[in-house]
Amino acid sequence: MAFTITDFHDLVRLLEQHEEWRKELRRLLLTDELLNLPNAFRELHKLVDRRFAELAEAQRRTEEALAAHRAETDRRFAELAEALRNLSETFTAHRQEFLEYRAETDRRFAELAEAQRRHYEEFAAHRQEFVAHRQEFLEYRAETERRFAELAEAQRRHYEEFAAHRQEFVAHRQEFLEYRAETERRFAELAEAQRRTEETLRQVLLRQEQFQRTLDRFGQTVGVTVEGQMVEAVQRYLAERGYVLLEPIATLAIDRIGELDGIARVRGPDGEEAWLLISVKARLGPRAVHDFADLLRNAAVQEALRAYGVRGPVLPLIFGVVLDRRALELAREARIGLLLQAQGELVAPQPWTLEASGGSEDP
């Protein structure tokens, strides 16, 4: 049985009433690949975005091109739907006209049949146009598949590049791990060397403390020995110059300051009494002269001497074993006597007066 315009119109009306029929018709007209194209493209887009950030710009251009092609396809389908709708409206109008005129006259039936023939020819022309549009669609689909193949090839190349970069990253990471292990080993060696250095330093400090204690004991021994020699030398010195010791030569400790190595009251050849203040140095140098002069000028020392009963002039004298030549001139300027164990008097002491203001000597 031939497919008539009435049957086509009924088919169109049924399709408009049943959405599932239209879906089935679209499924028959369109391939599964085209129907699934949006979902597949979205999945591919997500995969490309997740794995290759650098393809984002290329993917964006691809999406724009696809959107343009999809818009063009939608426009053409819209045109086709509009043509079909217009054809349906035309068929509906003619069918209504045919029904109205069939009741009115048989003559109009012949005219309607002729009109039907013409409309069938128009439908055939529209069908040919549809076939042409379908051919265009198939060509577009082939072009789309070609572009998808190109995109898949580009994706494959990028994946290979990614794999190469990953291998390079693994190699660099291995190099970093080896470098870190070497660095940690060197830090461990440095820490061990630091520990050994600290241990060595501790030993050195311990030995230094032991040496200092030994040196202190030696200094005490030498000091006592030199002070003993000083007493004999000073006694001879005073006797040679007509001085008389009025009391034994003794040391005098001064709280929180130090001590005088020797102090004694003497009477001179002229019958005048004075106090002999003595400093003992194994090596007699400029520093010994400065320190002794500063000690005698110290107000607290002068106050301690006055409390001890020192009155009148004092005779400052430094006794030594070895002499630094630079001490001679300083001793003369400071008016301090120098007495060496082997050489005797080198500089005669000049009288000092202990003043309440502290430290100035008589001119």
| For the chain, domain boundaries | 5-171, 241-353
Strand partners, 245: 266
**Which regions of the chain are under pLDDT 50?**
210-224, 356-363
Strands 337-340 and 344-347: antiparallel
Nearest partner of 137 among 75, 83, 65, judged by Cα? 75
Distance, in Å, from the CA atom of 230 to the CA atom of 262, rounded to the nearest integer, reads 9
Report pLDDT for 270.
Answer: 93
Give the span between the Cα atoms of 320 and 347, in whole angstroms.
Answer: 12
Question: Which residues, other chains included, contact 335 with Cβ-Cβ below 8 Å and sequence gap of 6+?
Answer: 316, 349, 350, 352, 361
**Contact indicator for 347, 328 with CB cutoff of 8 Å:** yes
**Who's near 310: CB < 8 A, 6+ residues apart?**
263, 275, 354
Q: DSSP character for 191? A: H
DSSP state of 280: E
Q: What is the pLDDT of residue 16?
A: 87
Closest to 293 measured CA to CA, from 307, 279, 306? 279
Q: What is the pLDDT, as a whole number, of residue 250?
A: 92
Tokens for 69? 């092609």
Residue 53 structure tokens: 């950030």
Q: Specify whether the CB–CB gap between 315 and 349 falls below 8 A.
A: yes
| H or E stretch covering 320 | strand 313-323
Residue 207, pLDDT score: 58
* The pairing of beta strand 313-323 with beta strand 337-340: parallel
Scored b (16 or more CB within 10 A) or e, 194-210 reads eeeeeeeeeeeeeeeee
> What's the half-sphere exposure (Cβ side, CA atoms, 13 Å) at 9?
17
CA distance linking residue 205 with residue 109, whole number of Å: 133
**Of 334, 262, 260, 255, nearest to 300 (Cα)?**
255
Predicted pLDDT at 213: 45
One-letter amino acid for residue 328 of the chain = L
Tokens read off for 161: 């590049």
From residue 89, how far is each of 86, 92, 95 by CA, in Å?
Answer: 5, 5, 10
Q: What is the pLDDT of residue 271?
A: 92
CB atoms within 10 A of CB 44: 16
Task: Please state, in angstroms and rounded to a whole number, the distance separating the CA atoms of residues 319 and 327.
Answer: 12
pLDDT at 94: 80
- Residues 295 and 96: their CA atoms lie apart, in Å, by 142
For residue 307, give the 3-state DSSP assignment: helix
Q: DSSP class of residue 335?
A: T
Residue labelled with tokens 């379908």: 134
189/280 Cα distance (integer angstroms): 53
The one-letter amino acid code at 56 reads: A
CATH 3.40.1350 fits 241-353, yes or no: yes
How, if at all, do strands 352-353 and 313-323 pair? Answer: antiparallel
Task: Check the CA dihedral 131-135-138-140 and report its sign.
Answer: negative
- Per-residue pLDDT of 125-178, as tens digits, reads 878 886 887 888 788 888 878 887 887 788 888 778 878 878 887 787 888 888
* DSSP classification of residue 363: -
Give the per-residue pLDDT at 264: 95
